[in-house]
């Protein structure tokens, strides 16, 4: 058998899908944004911020890793939107080549166990990413935790890291890249996501709402882009925010409209950075009762993208 030289190996084209899975609020979107070097998936401290599968595409030196950020797998499947998020997360395992299973450094929950049980039946190489290790003062105390986690499954690798600060994320990427299958690239080199600009704009508005309101507003909010058009050097975006009750609308608008104004200002700053142009953003709030538990309403609002 003739071995390939390092120069020959470096010219091999590799491409594959990498699912980032885990329970809600464990750092999946933060990790993907860190890998891509820019903000693509929205983040907040609230669980279940991510509702859709989002592809983040990184092409570098002959390799293309297509990361799939997924909603957190969770036990509350009562409402239609919760069932949708669980389906979106589970379906990501069907057609990927590698899985990154991200967990918290010192907390193992029933939802972590549920994710693990799905992975044990997948027959895919699973890299365990133990997140938020930057918060541990005594690094020696981490070793027993890593050993304990390693016993739960035959992981391809176990990597302690900090998605927020980037510690060991380069090591994680190395382990991913060497496991990508050989093949042609699926996307152009400059493309970073499969999502439309309208989708990304809606997600940025939703992120600012979740960050501004914290626990004041339940999950029954969604954002629909009604206008997305260029007028010279200005991008005009009109976003409709849907809530389910009158009280939610009042909370969202705030005293004399101060809260909705703040949400719009913060979203516009991120949009201008993302789209690299001046943005004129207009926000409206409308009541649509029961949308989050209505399968038909969810489909019309874009919650129908699971393959």
| 57: its two tokens | 């595409």
Q: Please give the residue that has the higher pLDDT: either 32 or 8.
A: 32
Q: Is residue 56 marked as binding?
A: no
Q: Is residue 86 marked as binding?
A: no
Q: Do 117 and 21 form a contact (C-beta atoms < 8 A)? A: no
Task: State the Cα–Cα distance between residues 14 and 66, nearest whole angstrom.
Answer: 11
Task: State the Cα–Cα distance between residues 281 and 216, nearest whole angstrom.
Answer: 24
HSE at residue 55, side-chain half, CA atoms within 13 A, is 20
Q: Is residue 131 marked as binding?
A: yes
How far, rounded to the nearest angstrom, does the alpha carbon of residue 63 sit from its chain's CA centroid? 21
Helix (H, G, I), strand (E, B) or coil at 235: strand
Q: Is residue 27 marked as binding?
A: yes
Q: Is residue 293 marked as binding?
A: no
Q: Is residue 133 marked as binding?
A: yes
The pLDDT value recorded for residue 169 is 97
Q: Domain 14-178 carries which CATH code? A: 3.40.50.300
The pLDDT value recorded for residue 7 is 46
The pLDDT value recorded for residue 47 is 47
Q: Is residue 257 marked as binding?
A: no
Q: Is residue 118 marked as binding?
A: no
Q: pLDDT for 215-248, tens place per residue?
A: 666 567 889 999 999 988 999 999 999 888 888 8
Using a 10 angstrom Cβ sphere, with 0-12 exposed, 13-18 middle and 19 or more buried, the burial of residue 100 is: buried
* DSSP letter (8 states) at residue 301: T
Lowest mean pLDDT among 43-57, 70-84, 100-114, 159-173: 70-84
Task: State the Cα–Cα distance between residues 181 and 187, nearest whole angstrom.
Answer: 15
Q: Is residue 132 marked as binding?
A: yes
Q: What percent of the chain has pLDDT over 90?
A: 48
So where are the chain's domains? 14-178, 197-301
Task: State the Cα–Cα distance between residues 291 and 223, nearest whole angstrom.
Answer: 12
Region 92-108 average pLDDT: 87
Q: pLDDT for 9-50, tens place per residue?
A: 457 899 999 999 998 888 998 999 999 998 887 665 554 555
Residue 76 has pLDDT above 70, yes or no: no
Q: pLDDT for 155-188, tens place per residue?
A: 999 999 999 999 999 999 999 999 999 999 999 9
197-301 folds as GMP Synthetase; Chain A, domain 3 (3.30.300)
| 218: its two tokens | 């339940």
Residue 74 has pLDDT above 60, yes or no: no
Q: Is residue 125 marked as binding?
A: no
Residue 3 has pLDDT above 70, yes or no: no
Q: Is residue 24 marked as binding?
A: yes
Task: State the Cα–Cα distance between residues 267 and 208, nearest whole angstrom.
Answer: 6
């Amino acid at each position: 058998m003739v071995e390939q030289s390092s120069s020959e190996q470096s010219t091999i084209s590799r491409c594959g899908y990498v699912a980032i899975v885990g329970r809600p609020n464990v750092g999946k979107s933060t990790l993907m944004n860190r890998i891509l070097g820019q903000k693509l998936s929205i983040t907040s401290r609230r669980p279940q911020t991510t509702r859709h599968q989002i592809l983040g595409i990184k092409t570098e030196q002959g390799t293309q890793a297509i990361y799939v950020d997924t909603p957190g797998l969770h036990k509350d499947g009562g409402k239609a939107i919760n069932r949708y998020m669980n389906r979106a997360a589970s379906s990501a395992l069907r057609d990927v080549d590698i899985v990154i299973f991200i967990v918290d450094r010192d907390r193992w929950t029933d939802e972590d166990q549920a994710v693990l049980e799905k992975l044990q039946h997948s027959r895919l190489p699973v890299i365990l990413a133990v997140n938020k290790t930057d918060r541990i003062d005594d690094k020696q105390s981490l070793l027993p935790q890593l050993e304990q986690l390693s016993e739960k499954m035959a992981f391809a690798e176990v990597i302690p890291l900090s998605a927020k600060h980037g510690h060991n994320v380069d090591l994680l990427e190395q382990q991913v890249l060497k496991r990508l299958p050989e093949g042609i690239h699926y996307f152009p080199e400059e493309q970073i996501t499969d999502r439309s600009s309208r989708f990304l704009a809606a997600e940025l508005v939703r992120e600012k709402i979740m960050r501004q309101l914290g626990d004041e507003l339940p999950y029954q909010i969604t954002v629909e882009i009604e206008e997305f058009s260029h007028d010279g050097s200005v991008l005009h975006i009109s976003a409709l925010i849907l809530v389910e009750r009158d009280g939610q609308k009042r909370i969202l608008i705030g005293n004399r409209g101060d809260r909705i104004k703040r949400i719009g200002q913060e979203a516009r700053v991120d949009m201008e950075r993302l789209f690299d142009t001046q943005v004129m953003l207009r926000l409206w709030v409308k009541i649509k009762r029961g949308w989050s538990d209505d399968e038909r309403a969810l489909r019309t609002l874009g919650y129908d993208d699971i393959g």
